Structure 1
Amino acid sequence: MTFFVTGTDTDCGKTLISSALLAAAKGETVGFKPIASGCEQTENGLRNSDALALMAASSIKLPYEDINPFAFEPAIAPHLAAAEKGVNLAPNRIEAQLKMAEYVGADFCLIEGAGGWRLPLGEGHFLSDVVQSMQLPVILVVGMKLGCLNHALLTAQAIKADGLNIVGWVANQVDKDMAYQEQNLESLKALLPAPCLGYVPYLAEATAEAAASHLDLTLLA
């Protein structure tokens, strides 16, 4: 099964949770990060820490360029970085890259987005267009901090308006000092139209394995 992982905003912990989901899943697993900015130049070319984390958590090992086909060095919106390099981020080009997920034999496959749900690709296109075209079930990562209720509900509304389903969501504590955290979590459970796959507390050592211990993937069924 292939899922698309999106978040309430940038820095909500999509990569940590995606890596944790891969670590918690059974069978052959693989994670993709089709678009990434903020990459570093290495002797092997541009590399993104999020994509590398997904590779480390995946049991199926693929070349980096298959995991992250569109990599940009500036830590700016990807469509702006792509425009500077003359790279076309048309949805059909991204979808063509992700069709690989159908052929690698994964029992559990994740495609991690960049930023939030409505990531611009340029020329009036969005990464959500690709998810719509592929009709992927969505897992939402909610960064637990002030404002998360509004961000989560607006994201859920946008996903539903696009004709897609949130099949599960994860609460990820990004602000360890968040006031009324428990009450906010209960409000999210009551308001979001999908099962909560887990609450990941603020982790001093934020590893995929540590986060995975707080997840229940059986709820995806």
Structure 2
Amino acid sequence: MAKKTYFVAGTDTDAGKTVASAGLLEAANRQGLRTMGLKPVAAGCEQTAEGLRNSDALILQQTASLSLTYEQVNPIAFEPPIAPHIAAAQAERRLTADRVAAFVKGTLLQPADFVIVEGAGGWRVPLNNRETMAHLPKILQTPVILVVGMKLGCINHALLTAESVSRDGIRLAGWIANRVDADMANYDENIGTIKSMLRAPLLGEIPHLEDPTPQNVAPFLDLSLLD
């Protein structure tokens, strides 16, 4: 198992998990760490000559310092951009938390210092009729980094997700504020409220960037706050 492995969850689908995940990987790269980025389940993939490819998974693959095959980064890929359990049913494939975790554990045998496992959608996105994405970090025993999409309603989304993480018996290692709404009213007050109510460090605030590349995002994140 890698020295530091974190599961990145979002307050909702467009919170910016991949932007934050790639930024974290780049920040770790700059410290000379061996990094690995995984997105075990991805819906919304394009058909290519090599097979189905997901743009978020490709970003993680390209940002990480360790060279992995696409199949190691994203072993379960679905073409339609819909909930994974629905995509799996349409493709007549069986999707379970144990199966997803097995793929991840196999890749984690690679030597690495810092690993990001990015979820799909929000915390309670179903994998099947009994399990949700939340079962994956529970099986893997990895702490969670929560990406909060800063927009109207973010306080409620952040607190509800953090509460669910805690109830599932998983540690919230930190959270990242991602300014998805450039014109959000009372941004500072919203940040202050979440900071005062979440029992986890704020790892950084990602501003609304025109070009949110890993290189542009990394300077806004502080890995020293992670334990």
Alignment match, 1:42:
48
Alignment match, 1:20:
23
Distance 1:140 1:176 in 2: 20
Asked if the contact 2:176–2:206 (Cα under 8 Å) also holds between the matched residues in 1, the reply is yes
SS of 1:125 mapped into structure 2: coil
| Correspondence 1:199 to 2:205 | yes
Q: 2:7 aligns with which of 4, 9, 26?
A: 4
Distance 1:64 1:176 in 2: 33
Task: List, as ranges, runs of 4+ consecutive aligned residues in structure 1 with deviation greater than 6 Å.
Answer: none
Q: 1:115 aligns with which of 106, 121, 124?
A: 121
1:20-169 paired onto structure 2 within 5 Å: 20-25=23-28, 26=31, 27-169=33-175
SS of 1:145 mapped into structure 2: coil
Asked if the contact 2:98–2:139 (Cα under 8 Å) also holds between the matched residues in 1, the reply is no
Runs of 5+ unmatched residues, structure 2 = none
Larger CA deviation: 118-127 vs 168-177: 118-127
Distance 1:161 1:207 in 2: 34
Distance 1:123 1:77 in 2: 12
| Residue 135 of structure 1, CA deviation | 1.4
CA-to-aligned-CA distance 1:107-133 (integer Å, 9 cap, x gap): 000100000011101131112112112
Name the count of aligned residue pairs.
221
- The one-letter amino acid paired with 1:217 is L
| Residue 203 of structure 1, CA deviation | 0.3
Runs of 5+ unmatched residues, structure 1 = none
Normalization by structure 1: what TM-score?
Answer: 0.98
Larger CA deviation: 101-110 vs 2-11: 101-110
- The one-letter amino acid paired with 2:9 is T
Alignment match, 1:184:
190
SS of 2:178 mapped into structure 1: strand
- The one-letter amino acid paired with 1:7 is G
- The one-letter amino acid paired with 1:45 is G
Distance 1:91 1:20 in 2: 26
CA-to-aligned-CA distance 1:176-200 (integer Å, 9 cap, x gap): 0000001101111111110000001
Asked if the contact 2:7–2:118 (Cα under 8 Å) also holds between the matched residues in 1, the reply is yes
Distance 2:195 2:66 in 1: 33
Larger CA deviation: 95-104 vs 60-69: 95-104
How large is the Cα RMSD of the aligned pairs?
0.8
Asked if the contact 2:44–2:78 (Cα under 8 Å) also holds between the matched residues in 1, the reply is yes
| Residue 94 of structure 1, CA deviation | 0.6
Distance 1:87 1:60 in 2: 30
Distance 1:216 1:123 in 2: 38
